[in-house]
């Protein structure tokens, strides 16, 4: 007769968070339908072009110029948003003043405003006869229908990403930290650059990456203010639309694949820098 084994009928230990299996399954299914399948279709369609056709599309002067304008403008706008986003988040967190709630709500305006409406509004403001453009034109400064207008539009749509990413982290930093730095003899700039910014670096990089990614693929707010001149102010998303309207699906797919590869590479670099910042300063450990 076999001896009784007390471990034979051991039950599975319940999870602390119930419903994990179902939630994970729904998450993977949703991501597969919305992200993996479209990206896989793009990769398969691009691989069917052949290396010779793909490189001819990638090295076309018009394609290279459009990519340069898209990524360059998005990078410049993300840097500007990183600087002024920190300042704006600092003001909203550290100070109390009349109209603070209004300004805080205005930060989210680009999220709610249709991009086409934003593009038309910015064009109206910065056109040579616009409210702001009429004062810049005598100075020889032209914003609308130039690459500078693209940067302005991308700054507008990307600012909330930096502010809303940095603001919660800044709220967790106690004022006593700044006061302690001041009592130890640190001036204001030393407190900002040696005490506050190291702890904010991962959040700033995250906001920068989000603003950059939004700027690279932005279309609606840019086409109205850019001028859309080939080799001057034509962005890559617009070039893809032009190729589709010409029924040149191979070129459209090739340009989209190039944008995807460059975006993945740049986001990978940013994520590596974020990981280094977390290990270096202990944020998010």
Per-residue pLDDT tens over the stretch 125-163 = 999 888 998 899 888 889 998 999 999 999 999 999 999
Length of the chain: 285
pLDDT tens digits, one per residue of 236-246? 999 999 988 98
Would you say residue 43 has pLDDT above 90?
Answer: no
Instruction: Give me the helix-helix angle, 236-245 and 61-94, nearest 10°.
Output: 130
Say what the pLDDT of residue 10 is: 53
Percent of the chain with pLDDT over 70: 91
What is the chain's Cα-based Rg? 25
What lies within 8 Å, CB to CB, of 39 at 6+ separation is 260
pLDDT band at 64 (very low <50, low <70, confident <90, very high): very high
Would you say residue 284 has pLDDT above 70?
Answer: no
Instruction: Give me the helix-helix angle, 249-281 and 236-245, nearest 10°.
Output: 160
Say what the pLDDT of residue 159 is: 93
Would you say residue 110 has pLDDT above 70?
Answer: yes
pLDDT band at 285 (very low <50, low <70, confident <90, very high): very low
CATH 1.10.3720.10 is held by the domain 41-281: yes
Q: Calculate the average pLDDT of the chain.
A: 84
Say what the pLDDT of residue 52 is: 83
What lies within 8 Å, CB to CB, of 134 at 6+ separation is 128
Quick one: DSSP state of residue 15? P
Q: How far is CA 37 from the centre of its chain?
A: 22
Q: Could you tell me which residue, 264 or 277, shows the higher pLDDT? A: 264
Q: Could you tell me which residue, 9 or 87, shows the higher pLDDT? A: 87
Say what the pLDDT of residue 20 is: 72
Say what the pLDDT of residue 46 is: 74
Would you say residue 206 has pLDDT above 50?
Answer: yes
pLDDT tens digits, one per residue of 13-26? 655 566 677 888 88
Q: Rounded to an integer, what distance in angstroms lies between the CA atom of residue 148 and that of residue 128?
A: 13
Say what the pLDDT of residue 8 is: 53
Q: Could you tell me which residue, 48 or 70, shows the higher pLDDT? A: 70
Would you say residue 230 has pLDDT above 70?
Answer: yes
Q: Rounded to an integer, what distance in angstroms lies between the CA atom of residue 52 and that of residue 32?
A: 31
């Amino acid at each position: 007769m076999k001896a009784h084994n007390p471990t034979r009928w051991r039950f599975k230990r319940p999870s602390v968070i119930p419903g994990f299996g179902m939630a994970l399954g729904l998450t993977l299914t949703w991501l597969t339908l919305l992200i993996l399948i479209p990206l896989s279709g793009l990769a398969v369609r691009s691989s069917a072009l052949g290396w010779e056709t793909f490189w001819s599309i990638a090295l076309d002067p018009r394609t290279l110029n459009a990519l340069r304008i898209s990524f360059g403008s998005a990078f410049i706008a993300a840097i500007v948003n990183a600087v002024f986003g920190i300042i704006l988040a600092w003001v909203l967190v550290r100070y109390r003043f009349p109209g603070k709630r209004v300004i805080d709500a205005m930060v989210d305006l680009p999220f709610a405003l249709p991009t086409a409406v934003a593009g038309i509004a910015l064009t109206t403001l910065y056109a040579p006869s616009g409210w702001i453009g009429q004062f810049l034109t005598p100075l020889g400064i032209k914003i609308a229908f130039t690459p500078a207008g693209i940067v302005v539009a991308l700054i507008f749509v990307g600012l909330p990403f930096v502010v809303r990413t940095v603001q919660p982290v800044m709220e967790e930093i106690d004022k006593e930290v700044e006061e302690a730095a001041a009592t130890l003899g640190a001036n204001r700039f030393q407190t900002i650059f040696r005490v506050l910014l190291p702890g904010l670096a991962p959040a700033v990089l995250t906001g920068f990456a989000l603003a950059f990614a939004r700027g690279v693929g932005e279309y609606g707010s840019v086409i109205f203010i850019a001028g859309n001149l080939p080799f001057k102010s034509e962005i890559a998303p617009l070039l893809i639309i032009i190729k589709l309207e010409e029924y040149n699906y191979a070129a459209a797919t090739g340009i989209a694949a190039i944008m995807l590869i460059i975006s993945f590479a740049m986001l990978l670099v940013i994520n590596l820098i974020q990981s280094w910042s977390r290990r270096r300063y202990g944020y998010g450990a």
